[in-house]
Amino acid sequence: MLVAALLFAVGIAVFAVQNTTAVPVQFLGWRTDAVAASVLVLLSAALGAVVTLLLGAAREVRLRLRLRAMDHELSISRERLRALAVPIVVKDTSGVRDGRDVSAT
């Protein structure tokens, strides 16, 4: 993944260096007459990286909270299971203990 990000960054840098022509920009009521195309490309890439980082961080926080809740639920379930565990006592009804017949004594 890191290699792909590095290759993408190199591609963006090469594109920015080769496209230095000034272009007019109009976006959401904001207007400028001359901005280098390379600046627009770099700003767009940076903005995309920031948005991706924020969305990834939000997902990470949600997953960590979910994991914490599941860990808590698991510990409660284990405690309930321990409380329900009753030692099993096997009563010898065969009349034979240690190889000797106990009914004869």
Query: Which residues span the domain enclosing 76?
Result: 11-85
pTM of the model: 0.54
> What SS3 class is residue 30?
strand
* Count: domains in the chain: 1
**Residue 43's pLDDT is what?**
86
Evaluated on CA atoms 81, 84, 87, 91, the torsion sign reads negative
Length of the chain: 105
User: What separation in angstroms does the CA of 35 have from each of 26, 42, 84?
Assistant: 11, 12, 72
**Is 43 contained in some domain?**
yes
**Is 91 contained in some domain?**
no
pLDDT at 54 over 60: yes
Average pLDDT over residues 12-39: 84
Q: Is 93 left (phi over 0), alpha (psi -120 to 50) or beta?
A: alpha
As beta bridge partners, residue 26 has: 31
